Structure 1
């Protein structure tokens, strides 16, 4: 498991607070985008063999693949994208949602997006992609609860 994604934050809410603190450190959006790109580069390798249509997140302009594992007690996610900024968004989503129970995933609204000003600084297509990734994560959580 990658140290970046190991749940050092005890809850999804704490992870969001940590993300907001990290982004507050940067003075402008050029630095924040660079940090986002750096986070994306630290994602664990995602094998090409897992880049299948079944794992593809639809609604993203970039190519995004998301792989869930676990059950309702704890869901873990692996993901990757062909876009460096989208990979950074994935890293943030995984910090908040991976390693959590399905119940916590469904109960957690992505407040960090607004808190760090991301909502205002993403293009409409990236915002749609972020929403699609989030919807996919929450759908996996609903499916895990149903089993």
Structure 2
């Protein structure tokens, strides 16, 4: 943890969120700051990369991550710096985990956003997981080919 993060820990100026989906897990830190001269209302770093470069091969996942920002963009909120650590799973499940964690962190920051994010469906965790393989089958449900003779 560097010196800048220690200042935020002491001042309690940051908000944390944790999201999971399938095998992926995302930890998010949201730092509200005064708005700079940039057009964007947020900057996002995912595992040290910008979120555009992290999700460049999957534009649908990029839209999933941007969705909570579009909901709060209609409101007047400060510039947000978002740092994400995500691991496990594929890009799609990582994007869902990031979206859930970001929504939880935004609610910590502004509790009145809960209704907006709930209506958009960003606070609902997708509980589906991979089904285990069963004995005598090739996969969870795939059976070997049946031969009558």
Query: What TM-score do the two structures reach when normalised by structure 1?
Result: 0.30
Quick check: which one's strand share is greater?
2
Quick check: which one's helix share is greater?
1
